[in-house]
Amino acid sequence: MTKVTPSLGSVTLEIARSGSGGGQERFDVPVPSTHARVLDALSWVRENEDPSLGFRFACRVGMCGACAVVINGKETLACQTTLGEIDESTIRIEPLRGLPVQHDLIVDMRPFFSNLARAEAGLKPRDPQSRDLPIIAPDSNERTTIEAQNGCITCGACVSAIADQPQVDDPVGLAALNRILMLTLEERDSAGATRLDEFADEVRALRPQSAEHAESVCPANIPLASALEQLKSFVAGHGGDS
């Protein structure tokens, strides 16, 4: 991997504010080091210019997905985006779309979590009392798929990415559908494909291009397009042998 060293100077942030009047606010921020992130720039603003600026983060290493925002029109994690890698002269930062804004760049994630609950996106165990560890052959078809789809960090970027595209009313969303797919293939689960029944219309309605677009912004690189394809085949009644 080649590394581009930007000249350390300053960058201009244009941050969407939710306070009185809303709108965008501009800040000139010094670039402290080659690898400084958009998150560092936000933190600089908070500590030096406006202590009331609202943004969310926790782990700072791309594992928690709390800092997902829209940067120059594209969903991404603020902690994983270096200032130097952005081409435009101004870095526009907005909250995720499709979720209610709580404070500046912070969106309310409750609808996102409610959708996971609605999808019953947790294992319904076949054998909860078992005190043996299941033998899980790592190379079975089901397991290979489950592994490929695993690793969602519930950041909400995929919701935001297709918020403006035609979908069913009140969609459960790709992150939840992806989890449904995993559980459908999961041998330890007792509910099998039944979770899908309620969301069959949504699976039919979702366009492959939407899933591809969502996949392109997913910070955990979850193959959402392939998830949708497999779900469509389940819904069409010939899933399970993919």
Partner 1 sequence: MQSLTCDILIIGGGGAALFAAIHARDSAPNLDIVVASKGLFAKSGCTRMVQGGYNVVLHDDDSFDKHYDDTIRGGSLINNQELAWTLVTQAPERVFEMENSFGCTFDRNADGTIHQRALAGQSFNRTIHRGDLTGIEIISRLAEQMLVRDIEMLNEVRGVDLLLDGSGQSVTGALLMDQHSGELIAVNAAAVLVATGGAAPLYRITAASLEKSGDGLAMAYRAGAEFVDMEMMQFHPTGLIVDGSLLNGTVLEEGLRGAGGHLLNADHERYMERYDPEKMERSTRDRVSRSGMMEIRAGRGTDSEGVYLDVRHLGKEFLLKSSPGMYERCLTVGTDMETDLIEVTPTAHFQMGGIRIDSECRTSLAGLFAAGEDAGGVHGANRLGGNGVAESMVFGAIAGESMARHVKESARPAIDPDRLSRLCDRLEGSAEITGEPYRLKNKLRALSWEHLGILREANGLARVEEELNAIESELTALPMPAQRGGNPDLQERLDAENLIDVARLIGAAASQREESRGSHFREDFPDSDDRYLVNFFQRKEADGSMTTESRPVEFSRRTPDALLGETLIPA
Considering only residues 112 through 171, tell me which ones interact with ligand SF4, judged by CB under 6 A: 152-158
Asked whether position 110 contacts partner 1 by CB under 8 A, the answer is: yes
Q: Does 17 bind partner 1 (CB under 8 A)?
A: no
Count Cβ atoms within 10 A of the Cβ of residue 203 and give its class: 0-12 exposed, 13-18 middle, 19 or more buried: buried
Q: Of the two residues 17 and 179, which places its CB atom closer to ligand SF4 in the complex?
A: 179
* Least distance to ligand SF4, CB of residue 124, Å: 21
When asked if residue 109 is in the footprint of ligand SF4 (CB under 6 A), the reply is no
# residues contacting partner 1 (CB under 8 A): 73
Residue closer to ligand SF4, measured from CB, 11 or 99: 99
Considering only residues 159 to 188 of the shown chain, the ones binding partner 1 according to CB under 8 A are 179, 183, 186, 188
Residues 193-232 that bind partner 1 (CB under 8 A): none
Which of 9, 21, 138, 166 binds partner 1 (CB under 8 A)? It is 138
How many Cα atoms sit within 13 Å of 101 on the Cβ side?
17
State the binding string over 42-81 for ligand SF4 (x if CB under 6 A, else -): -----------------------x----------------
**216 makes contact with ligand SF4 (CB under 6 A):** no
Task: Tell me how far, at minimum, the Cβ of 24 lies from partner 1, in Å.
Answer: 18
What distances in angstroms separate CA 73 from CA 76, 86, 97, 142, 239, one per listed residue?
Answer: 9, 12, 10, 36, 36
Q: Which of 10, 179, 157, 15 is nearest to 97 (CA)?
A: 157
For the chain, give me the number of helices (H) and strands (E)?
A: 9, 7
Token pair of 166, please?
A: 């035609």
Stretch that binds partner 1, among 20-28, 77-85, 204-212, 228-236 (CB under 8 A): 77-85
* Straight-line distance from the first to the last Cα atom of the chain, in angstroms, rounded to the nearest whole number: 35
Under rule CB under 8 A, residue 79 binds partner 1? yes
Query: Is 123 a residue that touches partner 1 (CB under 8 A)?
Result: yes
Paired with 72 in beta bridges are none
- Contact residue for partner 1 among 103, 148, 190, 229 (CB under 8 A): 103
Binding of residue 231 to ligand SF4 (CB under 6 A)? no
DSSP H helices, the chain, are 38-48, 110-118, 141-149, 157-161, 174-185, 194-197, 200-205, 208-217, 224-235
Please give the Cα distance from 22 to 17 (Å, whole number): 5
